[in-house]
């Protein structure tokens, strides 16, 4: 069973509908205390890093996610959810993140004529092969909506990159923790294939 974290920071319906369309057992998770009952976890998110972390901390999600991640079960962060996996975010100040992937989240600084936010379809190029991208070819388009980028401390965590007036990280994996800056649930067949792969993924921790 896949638990989709519903703590008020993301469009849960689109992720839930995509997973159900794929035939996955998935449902919204609204109580941190029930997290341990799920086989894998999806953390969607849109909005501000600082606000999201404050809301999650106040509601008890942060400690619950740490315990869950330590169990070795798969975790997937999407868009802001990917950014929250990192050590710190620099949006509206310096805010501690979940710290599951070493690194920071800083504003995109694209070269002109590219402007923020980065919205729409863009090409993702694989840096290395990974089970989450099984049968997903490199140089295929995915759907993005963001103004900030993840900068991992260890480049070995990078799975894919994208270019928008300069290169930025599109996907990361560290052990059982994965992140997609794009929205797989809105990215048609290629994105749905990634979600399907996540449902079958057995991480090597």
pLDDT value at 203 more than 70: yes
**16, 104, 185, 196: which is the annotated catalytic residue?**
185
pLDDT value at 97 more than 80: yes
| Choice among 8-12, 96-100, 110-114, 184-188 with the minimum mean pLDDT | 8-12
**7, 79, 150, 162: which is the annotated catalytic residue?**
79
Residue 205's pLDDT band, with cuts at 50, 70 and 90, is low
Q: Measure Cα distances from 187 to 29, 100, 141, 145 in Å.
A: 23, 25, 8, 12
Q: Which residues pair with 161 in a beta bridge?
A: 125, 169
Question: pLDDT per residue over 30-67, tens digit each?
Answer: 999 999 999 999 999 888 999 999 999 999 999 999 99
Return the CATH number at 17. 3.40.50.880
**24, 104, 183, 196: which is the annotated catalytic residue?**
183
Domain residues for the domain of 122 are 2-200
Q: Please report whether residue 193 resides in a domain.
A: yes
Q: Please report whether residue 130 resides in a domain.
A: yes
Q: Please report whether residue 205 resides in a domain.
A: no
Question: How many domains are there within the chain?
Answer: 1
Q: Which residues pair with 163 in a beta bridge?
A: 167
- Is 205 among the catalytic positions? no
- Is 130 among the catalytic positions? no
Q: Torsion over CA of 19, 43, 40 and 197, rounded to 10 degrees?
A: 50
Question: pLDDT per residue over 112-158, tens digit each?
Answer: 999 999 999 999 999 999 999 999 989 999 999 999 999 999 999 99
Its sign, for the CA torsion 63, 204, 143, 22, is negative
Q: What are the E-state strand segments in the chain? A: 2-5, 26-29, 40-45, 75-79, 86-89, 95-96, 101-107, 118-126, 140-146, 148-152, 158-163, 167-174, 177-180
Q: Measure Cα distances from 169 to 26, 79, 118, 181 in Å.
A: 27, 11, 13, 8
Q: Which two tokens stand for residue 71?
A: 């169990």
- Is 109 among the catalytic positions? no
């Amino acid at each position: 069973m896949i638990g989709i974290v519903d703590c008020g920071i993301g469009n849960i319906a689109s992720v839930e509908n995509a997973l159900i369309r794929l035939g996955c057992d998935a449902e919204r998770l609204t109580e941190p205390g029930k997290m341990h009952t799920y086989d894998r976890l999806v953390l969607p998110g849109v909005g501000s890093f600082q606000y999201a972390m404050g809301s999650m901390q106040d509601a008890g999600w942060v400690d619950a996610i740490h315990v869950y991640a330590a169990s070795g079960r798969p975790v997937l962060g999407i868009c802001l959810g990917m950014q929250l996996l990192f050590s710190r975010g620099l949006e509206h100040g310096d805010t501690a993140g979940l710290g599951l992937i070493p690194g920071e989240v800083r504003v995109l600084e694209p070269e002109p004529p590219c402007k923020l936010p980065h919205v729409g379809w863009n090409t993702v190029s694989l840096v290395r092969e990974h089970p989450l991208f099984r049968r997903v070819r490199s140089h295929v388009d995915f759907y993005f909506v963001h103004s900030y980028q993840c900068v991992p401390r260890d480049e070995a965590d990078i799975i894919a990159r994208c270019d928008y007036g300069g290169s930025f990280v599109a996907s990361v994996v560290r052990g059982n923790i994965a992140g997609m800056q794009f929205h797989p649930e809105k990215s048609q067949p290629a994105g749905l294939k990634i979600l399907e792969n996540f449902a079958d993924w057995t991480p090597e921790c």
